[in-house]
Amino acid sequence: MLRVKKVLILNYQLLSPIHHTFGPHVNRSYMSRVLALSYAPWAYRNGKYIEMLRTELANKFGAPVCLFASGREALFAYLKAINLIPGEEVIVQGYTCVVVPNAIHAAGGSPVFADIARETLNLDPESVDKLINSRTRAVICQHTFGVPSDTAKLREICDRRKILLIEDCAHVLPDRNGPEEIGGYGDALMLSFGRDKAISGITGGAVIPRNPSFADSLGSLEKQAVDLSWWEVLKLLEYAPRMRMVRNLKWTGFDKPVLKILKSLNLISLVVTDEEKKGFQSPLLHKIPNVCAALACWSLGNLEKTNDHRRQITNFFLGHGLKHGWPVLKGIKPGLPLQKFPLFVHDAQGKRKSLKKHNVYLDDGWTGCVVCPETVDLPSTGYEWGDNPEAEKACGQILSLPTHPTMTMRQAEYLARQIDTLL
């Protein structure tokens, strides 16, 4: 009986799609937590978990914490708190999400795009140094997919040029095993608790400032923030069961019509709205919902377990890839808790299309575009094609492999065999 049960579990794992986006944190434990929270509708928006999350993060990073309804709102709030004025510039990297330049525009500043170092997918410090001028106010350093940026070098540049360094830690958070390069260099840390981030509350974000005066300003902005509607919070809470249902339907082919119906009925909150794709972010700040803070707090408590899972799959892909001649990025080292495992390959889009025949779905919004997702109106972001050749080359060649909590080692081994065939 035990042998039969084991075979059924393994077969189910292979029937379950290999993916980036269908509730990557939504496992049985996460679902149990969502179910428990759903029984207290009076506490969907306000309750004890907001302060619990604040306390846990403050203890972890040793600095005050301000919470908002998303990472993009947290970034916008910080830029407002430092009094960013029209004409001032914030340097970001050329391979990023549209919500970053949108937040800069919403705060009244101008994003300036620096090129990336190909082997890390992060800011090239030399490119940053060349772009700094009298109007530069800050640099946003993104640890892309969990690969640490050269924060020590960027810190030296920012100190020398007397500008702020903001660390975007949405993709990775350190635990007691590191990465030590992350979280200790920025004048402020930006966190996102989105659906596929280092920790997930479905939505939510935090800014952790190290300057007391900015902390006071941020605190005032947080107090002025308004609640999301009860209906919107309910949609967020129901994301977990709905995505688990869609994930289980993927191999049947019924997932697309079900998703279409859910979207047409406005039963799924979009990760990036049509307005955001056109370069607009609302200046209205929202509070983090209590249920989202609860999920983020629970996820933070499981951070080391999640990171160890990511490390295990990262180490497997790294070892297998080096043994089988994969084009592994030199910036990927053993022991990194990567959010995704990136490769550069010829005809990456063709390979993603081919993998779909094997129940593998590697479209994640970070392909074919220097400002993601691909459906973004690029001119509205302020990016001009040709400015960042390494970023532009990378986004067309990248093929990223999942490492999230619901990705199993069995699936990783299966995917590795498929990649061997393709390469």
Q: d(Cα 3, Cα 251) in Å, to the nearest integer?
A: 25
Co-location of 113 and 211 in the same domain: yes
Co-location of 67 and 201 in the same domain: yes
Q: Look up the pTM and report it.
A: 0.94
Q: d(Cα 417, Cα 316) in Å, to the nearest integer?
A: 12
CATH number of the domain enclosing 135: 3.40.640.10
Co-location of 214 and 313 in the same domain: no
Residue pair 225/314 in contact (Cβ under 8 Å)? The answer is no
Amino acid at 262: L
Taking alpha carbons only, the member of 342, 340, 362 closest to residue 350 is 362
- 33 three-state secondary structure: helix
| Residue in the structure block whose two tokens are 């260099």 | 185
Co-location of 56 and 181 in the same domain: yes
> 420: buried, middle or exposed (CB in 10 Å: 19+, 13-18, 0-12)?
middle
Helices (H) and strands (E) in the chain, counts: 18, 15
Q: Is residue 268 part of a domain?
A: no
Q: pLDDT averaged over the chain?
A: 94
* Domain, as residue range, for 370: 303-422
| Residue in the structure block whose two tokens are 């994003």 | 111
Q: Is residue 121 part of a domain?
A: yes
Co-location of 321 and 413 in the same domain: yes
Q: Is residue 373 part of a domain?
A: yes
Produce one character per residue of 101-137: b if its CB has 16 or more CB atoms within 10 Å, e if not.
Answer: bbbbbbbebbbbbbbbbbebbbbbbebbbeebeeebb
Predicted confidence pLDDT, tens digits, the chain (423 residues) = 444 334 334 444 456 899 999 999 999 999 999 999 999 999 999 999 999 999 999 999 999 999 999 999 999 999 999 999 999 999 999 999 999 999 999 999 999 999 999 999 999 999 999 999 999 999 999 999 999 999 999 999 999 999 999 999 999 999 999 999 999 999 999 999 999 999 999 999 999 999 888 999 999 999 999 999 999 999 999 999 988 888 888 777 778 888 888 888 888 888 999 999 999 999 999 999 999 999 999 999 999 999 999 999 999 999 999 999 999 999 999 999 999 999 999 999 999 999 999 999 999 999 999 999 999 999 999 999 999 999 999 999 999 999 999 999 999 999 999 999 999
Q: Is residue 13 part of a domain?
A: no
Please state the domain count of the chain.
Answer: 2
